Amino acid sequence: MSAALAERHPTRLPAPAARDRFRAPAVFVVLAVALVGLVVVSAGSGQLSIPPDQVVGVFARAWNTGVRAIGLGILSVPPGAAMEHVNGEATLWLIRMPRLLMAVLVGATLATAGVVMQGVFRNPLAEPGVIGISSGAAVGASASIVFGLGFLGPLTLPVLAFAGGLVATVIVYASARTDGRTEVVTLVLTGIAVNAVGGAAIALFTYLGSTQQREQIVFWQLGSLNGTRWDDLAIVAPLAVVGIAVCLFLAGPLDLLSLGERQAEHLGVRVERLRVIAIVVIAALTCAAVAFCGIIGFVGLVVPHLMRMLLGPGHRLLLPASALGGAVLLVAGDLVARTAVPGSELPIGMLTALIGGPFFFWLLRRTRRRSGGWG
């Protein structure tokens, strides 16, 4: 009977496999096109409006200059439209491009850290803020603001924020490690405690600070890409690139870990070493992201779930897709933050929370409905 149906309708059975085969390339193409389009639109948006064709022209001329400098002039592209405004090109390269590239890097790092966090904890509701990294960074930044520290110049606040996040990670990890093993439940509970202590410390610094310092603390916690410089990008970019590359190498072990710790060990995965490497990489990526931009929440939760719905749980596709998706989300969020209210800028952390909060509630209801409860 089934053979007769297959002969009568020969194209029906292979359809799902064909759909799945083309889904991953389609997702990556859509994300890449969306990212390029958003970068072009965002680069031209602001108080000084630059048409997209002129933005593309600036990029094309920069590309041509680069390929000629390394002797590959054959790869030159048409120069595109000339810039009409006298300050347009300076505005684009000195102000907007560092900010846009920082948005790409921060979105990619937070989303990648979220994927690894969920894989290591084997919990789809985990995200980097769970283990207190963001709270620790906020404590370091608040201390820098209140005590007026400036021993590293403009890098003092980001460095102390980075150090605060690392200290919080070390405390959480040391508390959760027993007899050479890391207890995931203890790790999460310790992270909750560190978040609570960090919140109290931030409240104390807010109380001790002046009115201007309080405003700085609050604004930093809301998250912003405003004021990003090429020097900042030079610090974040190596950490982000190396961290994401390490995460890509963890894809296979994370897939095996999803079967269970004992099964993964039988298949050759050194679970404890994997967990240590993952926590270190998560801490480095998250600290690098929040040190210069403040706390930007929910990117590490929302993007991995969206990509998992589209591509499935396999980390070889999930990690690069989440990195692209995080970049798209944060570039789009930054565009809205700069243009939604004329003459002012919305905190990007607030926007991601407005998106991520309802998504988290929906995710809770969806998970509970599918699993029949949390017990």
Residue 5 has pLDDT above 70, yes or no: no
Q: What is the model's pLDDT at position 254? A: 92
Across 51-65, b (16+ Cβ under 10 Å) vs e yields eeebbbbbbbbeebe
Q: What number is the average pLDDT over the span 208-229?
A: 88
Q: How confident is the model at residue 75 (pLDDT cuts 50, 70, 90)?
A: low
Q: What number is the average pLDDT over the span 63-79?
A: 69
Percent of the chain with pLDDT over 70: 86
Which residues partner with 178 through β-bridges?
A: 181
> Rounded distance, CA 151 to CA 156, Å?
6
Decide which of 356 and 279 is more confident.
279
pLDDT tens profile 6-24:
444 444 434 445 556 788 8
Q: How confident is the model at residue 326 (pLDDT cuts 50, 70, 90)?
A: very high
* Residue 279 maps to a domain: yes
Q: What number is the average pLDDT over the span 301-319?
A: 89
Q: What number is the average pLDDT over the span 283-290?
A: 88
* Residue 348 maps to a domain: yes
Helices (H) and strands (E) in the chain, counts: 16, 2
Q: What number is the average pLDDT over the span 336-343?
A: 84
Q: In 10 A of CB 180, how many CB atoms?
A: 6
Q: What number is the average pLDDT over the span 332-338?
A: 91
Which domain CATH number covers 110?
1.10.3470.10
* Residue 289 maps to a domain: yes
* Residue 19 maps to a domain: no
> Rounded distance, CA 161 to CA 375, Å?
38
Q: Mean pLDDT score of the chain, rounded to an integer?
A: 83
Across 94-130, b (16+ Cβ under 10 Å) vs e yields ebbbbbbbbbbbbbbbbbbbbbbbbbbbeeeebbbbb
pTM (two decimals):
0.86
* Radius of gyration in angstroms for the set of CA atoms belonging to the chain, rounded to a whole number: 23
323 neighbors 108 (Cβ within 8 angstroms): yes
Q: What is the model's pLDDT at position 249? A: 93
In terms of Cα–Cα distance, which of 289, 349, 337, 300 is closest to 120? 300
Q: What number is the average pLDDT over the span 28-37?
A: 95
**Three-class secondary structure of residue 277 per DSSP:** helix
Residue 24, C-beta contacts closer than 8 angstroms, at least 6 positions apart: 311, 317, 321
Residue 111 has pLDDT above 80, yes or no: yes
Q: What is the model's pLDDT at position 134? A: 86
Residue 1 has pLDDT above 70, yes or no: no
Q: How confident is the model at residue 74 (pLDDT cuts 50, 70, 90)?
A: low
* Residue 61 maps to a domain: no
pLDDT tens profile 163-194:
998 898 888 888 877 776 777 778 778 888 98
> Rounded distance, CA 332 to CA 262, Å?
42
Residue 86 has pLDDT above 60, yes or no: yes
* Residue 67 maps to a domain: no
- Could you give the number of structural domains in the chain? 1
> Rounded distance, CA 111 to CA 33, Å?
19
Q: What is the model's pLDDT at position 122? A: 80
Residue 31 has pLDDT above 90, yes or no: yes
In terms of Cα–Cα distance, which of 318, 249, 320, 317 is closest to 278? 249
The domain of 254 spans: 99-371
* Residue 4 maps to a domain: no
* Residue 307 maps to a domain: yes
